[in-house]
Amino acid sequence: MHKIELDPALVERLTVERGGRLHVFDDFDPARTAHLVIDLQNGFMEPGAPVEVPLAKAIVPNVNTISEAIRKAGGTNIFVRFTTPSETLDGWSSFYKRFPKEVRQAHQAAFAPGAHYWQLWDELDVRADDLAVDKQRFSAFIPDTCNLHEILQARGIDTLLITGTLTNCCCESTARDAMQLNYRIIFASDANATLTDAEHNATLNNMCALFCDVMSTEEILEALERKAPAAVAAE
């Protein structure tokens, strides 16, 4: 698990600016909330996988805890999978040309629909009522990457909880773009993962400063309990 370090000076400044509170979206309506689980697929999780993120396995219990709380509170879980672009890789040459040809080809094969590495990690708690969306870029909200925005709009969703990997790549990209589409964003500090603590915390601080609320799993559960105490109470 990452060692989480929000900048104390940043936290103090934001708390003062916000009239004594750090979080501005902790009053969200669970029924209008979607939990986006980003890229927790075999290709990011397995030892030796093409984009292995070793720390990502440690966040799965927190991701599952949030998923279960969202279900009980009447929200929506959406598992987002990175998927090889349907067009030729030249359509995203600014990314793929950073790598040798054999690496590009391996990456393309790994995340093709139905491939082993494309599949969701088997320790995730995925239920029949949960949704799955395939995106073809880092962000799930740039034009033509997937139909996530349309799905959310059709369901009246205005708040997004973001978990997954990599903190500073697909999770951050998705959060940034979603905020600019006027979604209320909550970024889970201990249910996102990347390669180093430094990269993880850099994103958390930037998210907190400009784009969204940064909350721990415990804080997310507390916010859900305040809105729907009976629904999320322990059985």
Q: Of 125, 126, 129, 108, nearest to 117 (Cα)?
A: 108
How far apart (Å, rounded) are the C-alpha atoms in residues 172 and 162? 9
How far apart (Å, rounded) are the C-alpha atoms in residues 118 and 17? 43
Retrieve residue 230's tokens: 């009976």
> pLDDT tens digit string along 6-47?
999 999 999 999 999 999 999 999 999 999 999 999 999 999
> pLDDT tens digit string along 124-159?
999 999 999 999 999 999 998 999 999 999 999 999
Residues constituting the chain? 235
How far apart (Å, rounded) are the C-alpha atoms in residues 120 and 80? 9
What's the confidence (pLDDT) of residue 230?
45
Largest CA distance in the chain: 54
Residue 176 burial (CB < 10 Å; 0-12/13-18/19+)?
A: middle
What's the confidence (pLDDT) of residue 141?
97
Indicate if the pLDDT at residue 233 is higher than 60.
Answer: no
What's the confidence (pLDDT) of residue 235?
42
> pLDDT tens digit string along 156-206?
999 999 999 999 999 999 999 999 999 999 999 999 999 999 999 999 999
How far apart (Å, rounded) are the C-alpha atoms in residues 107 and 52? 12
Q: With DSSP H G I counted as helix, E B as strand and the rest as coil, what are the percentages for the chain, rounded to 5?
A: 45, 15, 40
pTM assigned to the model: 0.93
What's the confidence (pLDDT) of residue 232?
43
Q: Of 146, 134, 155, nearest to 30 (Cα)?
A: 155
Q: Check residue 32 and report its DSSP letter.
A: G
What b/e string do you get for 92-102 counting C-beta neighbours within 10 Å, with b at 16 or more?
eeeebeeeeee
Domain at 8-232, CATH class? alpha beta
> pLDDT tens digit string along 52-95?
999 999 999 999 999 999 999 999 999 999 998 877 677 888 88
Q: How far is CA 17 from CA 21, 59, 80, 206, 214, in A?
A: 8, 31, 34, 16, 16
> pLDDT tens digit string along 37-59?
999 999 999 999 999 999 999 99
How far apart (Å, rounded) are the C-alpha atoms in residues 60 and 119? 15
What's the confidence (pLDDT) of residue 88?
67
Q: Where are the domains of the chain?
A: 8-232
